[in-house]
Amino acid sequence: MDVDIRLLRTFAAVAEEGSLTRAAERLFVSQPALTKQIRQLENRLGVPLFVRSRAGMTLTAAGRALAARAPGLLADWDAALRETRRTASRAERVLRVGYLASAANEATPRIVAEFTRRHPGWRVDMLHATWSDPTAGLGAGDVDAALLRLPFPGQERLRVAELSTEPRWVALPSAHPLADRAEIAFRELWDEPFVAAPAETGRWRDYWLAADEREGHPVRIGAVVDHPDDWLSAIANGYGVALAPESTARFYARPGIVYRPVSGVSPSRIGVGWAPEDDGNPVVRDFVRCCRENT
Amino acid sequence: MDVDIRLLRTFAAVAEEGSLTRAAERLFVSQPALTKQIRQLENRLGVPLFVRSRAGMTLTAAGRALAARAPGLLADWDAALRETRRTASRAERVLRVGYLASAANEATPRIVAEFTRRHPGWRVDMLHATWSDPTAGLGAGDVDAALLRLPFPGQERLRVAELSTEPRWVALPSAHPLADRAEIAFRELWDEPFVAAPAETGRWRDYWLAADEREGHPVRIGAVVDHPDDWLSAIANGYGVALAPESTARFYARPGIVYRPVSGVSPSRIGVGWAPEDDGNPVVRDFVRCCRENT
DNA sequence: CCACATCCATTCCATCAGGTTATGGAAGCA
DNA sequence: TGCTTCCATAACCTGATGGAATGGATGTGG
């Protein structure tokens, strides 16, 4: 009669979406998998949770009772796991720092060096995040701090200190007609296909498509990627262009790709983030201070 | 990074017992299974939770953090499942009643008939419990009410109304030297091997061994059984004798077994139990009233 | 001092649960 | 009638899980 947490997550997703098909997309599994999971949950509880119809999945009274509790249970559960991880890394004297490829730059080694100088015996683990998680593991509590690009979705629930800004440039295939220009106006890129981050990154994706600075002009998506290497390949292969912070030109120089300054887009901001629970954590505070003093 | 509830239960058991071996016994699985589960939990969290030694399993700091939260999480989880089931059975107009074989007697059909007369459209599901759960499913929230033998472990957390008492008799193999006596004094049975309920039923098991009424005389266990049929077989096969309520003599008459009155033991009490959450539930209250008025 | 008991870890194996793809069936819509 | 949109089912494959037997380390008692 034991029910897996995964089943509860599935249930919550289906209850929210009102549809197996849509929930399946959101959870990145096939629809039949959810059919089975929901039925399994119903069997283990001995209670029907949904009424099936062509219109979708509608909650029964019992389903509503469970749906009302599910978010709280899941949140408590995740909080307990986070707390456990935090305890562990403190006990081991390890500071876990997530970073987005594009947010780690020349300052990073200085920051880490300064931190370890101030905290002998401590180790800094730098954990590389994919673009599908713009919080670089902070949102899930996998890290104690993170070097990020602002803004990102979920920012309200975390603490963030802005460290620096950089102009945004554009990455182009070298064969691109604009590739030999010294500087490019953003409006000239409006009709170009763009290489974008996965859709679930929401606001972050929009920011890098500069969706707000197109004066209503629609975005064309040429490819969706999740990782710097794929990003570079997609651009080199001519699937599209992409905005990128200036430092990317130095860190990800590659044959087949050129980087050019862009006018008419706001600069990118780099920040360091941490969880509100760590406001009083001297180690995290010190790491943030090192970030501030070394950028 | 999703962690199964089962792993948390395992973890809680191991943390409490301080030993894989003992926890394995308690959970009715093999010790290697727990070795694997604990390791899996540690891997998924990326955090060591125990320090292994020949003395057993000792919690690390992170392990203590998780152990502190685990009971609450598990309790919330179980409460949510209970609530969901309760909602379902109310919506379906089904009253689920658990019963111990020995607690259902001649009154039961009258109770159910009276209840369905007062609640047309409702159905009563009678669910038979094994002796390893003297709460007949109430403790786990599987039923809305239960017909029980008092006292039983966990009684404090439930509501109970006593319905009637019955003298306790003894069930003997027909070949037993005492089998042709009209009545037996309990002290004559002190040295007999007894057929007992599983050890995890604690107080309930002790009650049926009349452990308190032996004036310190130790109990001899001849067999452990979980089900009326096994119980009858064990007695008929001469593995031991057992106390039983008088009505058992009528419900479980069988060749090879005789029932005899016993003097010197307290009578057995039958009760109806329900969950405190249902104090305000008119259907459950009515069922309890039907029990009271029909015994 | 050696046999023994007590722990946890490891290995091997059988089983089952979970996922995927492909397909079916029902119902609204044009 | 054909198309789309739901969920259910079937067939298949992989990997996780649990059990039995065994190993290794470490105290303990005669």
pLDDT digits (tens, 9 = 90+) for A92-110: 888 999 998 767 677 888 8
Given its phi and psi angles, is residue B98 left (phi above 0), alpha (psi -120 to 50 degrees) or beta? beta
- Comparing CA positions, the residue from B197, B212, B280 lying closest to residue B244 is B197
* pLDDT of amino acid B39: 87
* pLDDT of amino acid B229: 82
3-state secondary structure of B79: helix
Q: What stretches of chain B show up as alpha helix (H) in DSSP? A: 5-17, 20-27, 31-45, 61-91, 107-118, 203-209, 228-236, 246-251, 282-293
Residue A145, pLDDT > 90, answer yes
Mean pLDDT, rounded, of chain B:
86
Q: A59-89 pLDDT, tens per residue?
A: 888 888 888 998 898 888 888 888 888 888 8
* pLDDT of amino acid B97: 92
* pLDDT of amino acid B2: 64
Residue A39, pLDDT > 90, answer no
Which residue among B4, B46, B88 sits closest to A85, beta carbon to beta carbon? B46
The protein residue nearest D20 (Cα–C1') is B30
* pLDDT of amino acid B1: 52
What domains sit in chain B, N to C, each tagged with a CATH number? 5-83 (1.10.10.10), 92-165+270-293 (3.40.190.10), 168-266 (3.40.190.10)
* pLDDT of amino acid B288: 94
Measure CA A28 to chain center: 16
Instruction: Look up residue B285 and give its two tokens.
Output: 């209250």
Q: Over range A9-35, report the average pLDDT.
A: 85
Q: Which residues are in reach of strand C, CB within 7 A?
A: A 4, 6, 28-33, 36-37, 40, 54; B 19-22, 31-32, 35-36, 38-39, 52-54, 56-57
* pLDDT of amino acid B67: 86
Q: Tell me the C-alpha distance between B189 and B178, whole Å.
A: 9
Contacts 24+ apart (CB under 8 A), A114-121: A114/A290, A114/A293, A114/A294, A115/A286, A115/A287, A115/A290, A118/A286, A118/A290, A119/A93, A119/A95, A119/A283, A119/A286, A121/A93
* pLDDT of amino acid A51: 83
Q: Over range B118-128, report the average pLDDT.
A: 89
- Comparing CA positions, the residue from A241, A276, A26 lying closest to residue A157 is A276
Residue A199, pLDDT > 80, answer no
Instruction: Look up residue A279 and give its two tokens.
Output: 């406001």
Tell the burial category of A164 from Cβ atoms under 10 Å away from its Cβ (0-12, 13-18, 19+). Answer: middle
Q: Does B81 contact chain A (CB < 8 Å)? A: yes
Q: B10-69 pLDDT, tens per residue?
A: 888 888 888 888 888 878 888 888 888 888 888 888 888 888 877 778 888 888 888 889
Distance A60 CA to C29 C1' (A): 28
pLDDT bucket at A285, cuts 50 / 70 / 90? very high
Residue, of B74 and A131, whose pLDDT is higher:
B74
- Comparing CA positions, the residue from A225, A269, A276, A265 lying closest to residue A243 is A265
